[in-house]
Amino acid sequence: MKRLFTLLVASLAVALATPTSEASARELHIVPAPTYIDLDSEGSYTVTPKTTIVVEDDAWNAADRFAEDMQSYYGSKKPLRTAKRGKGIKVRIDRFVPEEGYEMTINDEGILIIGGSEAGIYYGLQTLRQIIVTNNSVVPYGFIADEPTFTYRGAHLDVSRHFFSVEDVKRFIDIIAAHKLNRLHWHLTDDQGWRIEIKRYPELTEKGSERKETLIGHGLTPTEWDGTPYGGYYTQEQVKEVIAYAAERYITIIPEIEMPGHAQAALHALPWLGCEEQTVDVWTTWGVTPEVMCAGKETTYTFLENVLMEVMELFPSELIHIGGDECPKDRWKECDHCQAKMKELGLENEEQLQGYLVARIEKFLNANGRKMIGWDEILDGGVTPTATVMSWRGTEGGIYAAERGNDVVMTPMKLCYLNFYQTESREGEGLHIGGHIPFEMIYAWDPYEGMSDTAKRHIIGVQCNMWTEYIKNMETIETMLLPRLAAMSEVQWACDRRDESTIRERMTTLRRFYEANGWNYAPYYFEGRK
């Protein structure tokens, strides 16, 4: 039946080539674009604060989240009522619909949303939410069928360079959920701060979560610091709270614990993790430090396994991110422990030593029912076919990994790093890391470019990243994220049906949705600036 659904959608989509159907499809201006829209020539259903959500299957959570969103929109004292019977907005699970897909029928009986899972219902309700908010609560009669292109639709948030509160992270989750993303990659540790409580090693947050000051200006030319201590971390109870909040919005949080590089905060807290056990500060600038974990001492592996065990107890995600990027090998070349380990293992160089560390950690994760994901540097020392690769230095690493059988998430820096400037002139944008990624560049990106059919089968998804060296508050996060996240969501959800001729009109409508939710967005795309 799922195949029949796909064939039905494909045949119905042909109708969109006609001027009449194309005009009808544009009338609702939905982002990301549904697979198929067919609106009746007349008739509509009006949603009000008194509309009931009728739950015919076990989809109460999706209904409750939608009811809360509508409560906020209408400014009512109570969420929309949910019930097991009646008229209004009906939701039902049907396993013959694709798992994350949905069908929506609007007629004089009300609105019926059938999802392949509770998540599918949630995405259908997100589409309905957009229509309600941007169309004055009026939903035209018709039919919508939809399903995503990629199973992994991710956004990354760095809380190590600058710390963001639990409420900030929840707000970030709200924004990406409204764009139908389903993964949050939470970057919890780095040189500038360790942000997650580990009960086995309290020093990590007692000492490693705070730096004595922060660089002023750009990291390429560090000359001045602010002299103000800066820090923050999440207790394990707070982590559980965020995980639960995300799960209610069908988002899986993938934690990242950086190793063996980007670890200076951990080295400050626990000097014995380093090759020379020297005392180092939590780093106060940006970039890449030579201070890394020692890969030659067994105590390092014991530490990593103990930390990961607590992380796995908190996070249900099958994928656990181990970083693996930007690890200078200078200390290892001078370290008796590392050189002895290389000789013991018959390794030819330090890259292979990192490959040993990565493989050993992956084996540990696998033994505990989890899978490893890491930045594409994990390929440099050799990696098993079971590791998932996050391709950031470009697309070449991802293509190489996919060709050899590794699952891959595409997130090339020059297209997916939303901490880059949004306009070529940079006028009015403030200080950021560099680079230039306008909305149009993201929208035009083909994640499959240059790949064989074999490789394409291993591209599980696409992710945008938000690094926070130069981003200090949630307002800036939002203006860097929006509206470019909308372009990314079309790549992730609607890759095969993007339409440059309609996107600007649809974005003008989506802008009203942002404003109704009180989300900050950058004006540059709407002003025509690139």
pLDDT attached to residue 279: 94
Q: How far apart are CA 139 and CA 44, in angstroms?
A: 5
Q: Is 190 a catalytic residue?
A: yes
The per-residue pLDDT for range 44-88, each reduced to its tens digit, is: 999 999 999 999 988 999 999 999 999 999 999 999 999 999 999
Q: Is 326 a catalytic residue?
A: yes
Burial status of residue 306 (CB atoms within 10 A of its CB: 0-12, 13-18, 19 or more): middle
Residue 58 neighbours by CB distance under 10 Å: 9
Q: Which of 38, 213, 326, 351 is catalytic?
A: 326
Choose the weakest-confidence range: 1-15, 109-123, 201-215, 442-456.
1-15
Domain extent listing, the chain: 2-146, 152-498
pLDDT attached to residue 232: 98
Q: Is 321 a catalytic residue?
A: no
Q: How far apart are CA 472 and CA 481, in angstroms?
A: 14
Q: Which of 100, 190, 256, 377 is catalytic?
A: 190
Confidence of residue 7 (pLDDT cuts 50, 70, 90): very low
Q: Which of 29, 162, 262, 458 is catalytic?
A: 262
Confidence of residue 486 (pLDDT cuts 50, 70, 90): very high
Sign of CA dihedral 138, 142, 147, 148: negative
Q: At 466, is the secondary structure helix, strand, or coil?
A: strand
Strand order in the sheet with 110-115: 36-46, 138-146, 102-107, 110-115, 88-93, 52-55, 82-83
The angle that helices 350-367 and 298-314 make with each other, rounded to 10 degrees, is 40
At 228, which amino acid appears? T
The percent of residues in the chain predicted with pLDDT above 70, rounded, is 95
Q: How far apart are CA 440 and CA 6, in angstroms?
A: 29
| Cα Rg, the chain, nearest whole Å | 24
- Kindly report the CATH class assigned to 152-498: alpha beta
Classify the phi-psi angles of 86: left when phi > 0, otherwise alpha if psi is within -120 to 50, otherwise beta.
left
Provide the CATH number for the domain formed by 2-146 in this structure. 3.30.379.10
Question: Average pLDDT, stretch 224-236?
Answer: 98
From residue 105, alpha-carbon distances to 108, 113, 126 in Å are 10, 7, 15
Strands 224-225 and 215-216: antiparallel
